[in-house]
Structure 1
Amino acid sequence: MGRYVARRLLQMIPVFLGVTLMVFLMMYALPGDPVRALYGDQTYDPAQIAAIKADLGLDQPLWKQYMDYLFGLVQGDFGQQIASQVPVSEIIADALPITARLALLAFAFTVVFGIALGMIAGLKAGRPVDTAVLIVTLLFISVPVFVLGYLAQFFFGHTLGWVTPVVQDSDNWGELLLPAMVLGSLSLAYVARLTRTSIAENLRSDYMRTAVAKGLPRHRILSVHLLRNSLIPVVTFLGVDIGSLMAGAVVTEGIFNINGIGSELFEALFRREGSTVVGIVSLIVIIYLAVSLIVDLLYAVLDPRIRYA
């Protein structure tokens, strides 16, 4: 196990370097000058612009800027925002808890309702309940998140008045519930369909017939034998989905006026704040890689037949 974890950690290094380098190059390949944009339509002194670039290291060759960023990242320095001169780490520290709460609620909504719907549909495959679940999940997959967000905001907020149309307090878990449901709707549809397919397939397996023939209680057959083996593809998707929920929060946070990582990333892209974008993306990549490793280790827990050389 230890050797496998060490090998996976070593494999993460080129992945992290490749993704951050690609984002770094794309940001600095965009047209425009973020330092010059600070002055807007006002007149400016070219010497002052050069001094600001020298202070931020933007006058260095691109490879030197990237190497400086990596060395700073090892020390916990995500760079500095150009406009506000605030360290990117402080911006992330303020916005990350908000997005984490939103993603956690969306993840819980996805896991609980997605697996429950998928299991019901799998056990009732071919029946009206199964058809209804497939239609509802297809609807969630077909409708874009921003359309679903505005519909939920209009129906539950403006029409019924059950919730506030926009989030006024990001620390209030109750106000984040509707945005979390919108954010997790697409993931719920995929989880339900994955669970349904896996359940329906494993129901026909030999070990299920053996468990029934041995006279085991139905709840033990369903929970220990059927669900446990059926969750392996679902866990794989859920592991990747954690990072997707944080990255996909850009649209949801914009609709519901939530000042989280997604909002900061959108504003940084709009202002061409390369250091902020690369810093936030680096954090999301780290979360992706860490969760991917945890998911691989969970395989052995779900299926005792899986062992790591």
Structure 2
Amino acid sequence: MGRYVARRLLQMIPVFIGSTLLVFSMMYALPGDPVRALAGEQAVDPVQIAAMKKELGLDLPLWHQYLNYLTGLFQGDFGTQIATQRPVAEEIARAFPITIRLALFAFVFTTVVGIAMGVFAGLKADMLRDRTLLLITLLLISVPSFVLGFLAQVFFAHQLGWVDPNVSPEAAWDELVLPAVVLGSLSLAYVARLTRTSVAENLRADYMRTAVAKGLPRRRIIGVHLLRNSMIPVVTFLGTDIGTLMGGAVVTEGIFNVQGVGNAVFQALRHREGSTVVGIVTLIVIVYLVASLLVDLLYAVLDPRIRYA
């Protein structure tokens, strides 16, 4: 197991470098001059612009800028915002905890409700509750997230008055419930369908008939034998979904005025703050890589037949 983990960690290095280099190159290729844009329509001395670019290291070739970024990254330096001259690390420290809370809420909602719905439908496949689950999940997949967000905001906030329509800058836990439900609704549909399909398939397996023939309690048959073997595809999806929830919260955070990573990336793209975008994406890439490693390790826990040499 130790050798496998070490090998996976070494494999993460080229993936990390490749993904961050791709995002860094895309921001470098965007049209416009972020330093010149600071002055707006006013005339600025080209010498001043060149001096500021040199100070920020924007006059260097792409490979040199990326090398400087990696060097600073290993020292905890994510760069500096051009407009405010503030460290990008401060913006990340402000926005990232909010998005982590939102994504955690959405992940728990997706996992608990999605698996429960999938098991409930899978135990009675092709029955009424199975068709009802299919209808609900197809509806969640078909409706865009911004439409679902506005509908939830109008119904629960404006009509029923259960929650505030906008989240405060502090983003308390109770304020993030509705945005988390909206954010996790699409993932909920996929988790429910994956669980339903896996449970219905494993119900017909030989080991399930053996467990029933041995007279094991129904709770043990479903809770241990059936669920343990049905969760592998679900865990695979949930592992990658953690990073998706964090990176895909731009629309949801915009609807509910959540001052998280999505809002920070949107504002950074508007002002062409490449260092902010690259810094946030770098952390999301790390989340993806760590989640992928944890999912692979969970396979051995869920299925004893899987062993890592």
Q: Same fold (TM over 0.5)?
A: yes
For residues 162-241 of structure 1, the aligned pairs below 5 Å read: 162-241=162-241
Other structure's SS at 1:35 match: helix
For residues 78-227 of structure 1, the aligned pairs below 5 Å read: 78-227=78-227
Q: Deviations over 1:128-182 (max 9, x none)?
A: 1010011001111111111111111111111221111111254311110000000
Partner Cα distance (1:213, 1:114) in 2: 30
Q: Is the 8 A contact 2:124 2:130 kept in 1?
A: yes
Other structure's SS at 1:175 match: helix
Matched, 1:25 2:29: no
Q: Which amino acid aligns with 1:3?
A: R
2:11 aligns with 11
For normalisation by structure 2, the TM-score amounts to: 0.98
Report deviation, 1:237.
0.3
Partner Cα distance (1:226, 1:300) in 2: 16
Partner Cα distance (2:160, 2:26) in 1: 44
Q: Which amino acid aligns with 2:216?
A: L
Q: Deviations over 1:1-60 (max 9, x none)?
A: 111111111111111111111111111111101111111122212111111111110011
Partner Cα distance (1:147, 1:40) in 2: 35
Q: Is the 8 A contact 2:16 2:285 kept in 1?
A: yes
Q: Unaligned regions of 5+ residues in structure 2, if any? A: none
Q: Is the 8 A contact 2:80 2:88 kept in 1?
A: yes
2:36 aligns with 36
Partner Cα distance (1:189, 1:57) in 2: 46
Q: Is the 8 A contact 1:170 1:176 kept in 2?
A: no
For normalisation by structure 1, the TM-score amounts to: 0.98
1:49 aligns with 49
Report deviation, 1:124.
1.3
Other structure's SS at 1:161 match: coil
Matched, 1:291 2:291: yes
Other structure's SS at 1:174 match: helix
Q: Which amino acid aligns with 1:265?
A: V
RMSD: 0.8
Q: Is the 8 A contact 1:163 1:175 kept in 2?
A: yes
Matched, 1:66 2:66: yes
1:278 aligns with 278
Aligned residues between the structures = 309
Following TM superposition, the consecutive aligned residue runs of length 4 or more in structure 1 with deviations greater than 4 angstroms are none
Q: 1:278 to 1:169 in 2, by over 3 A?
A: closer
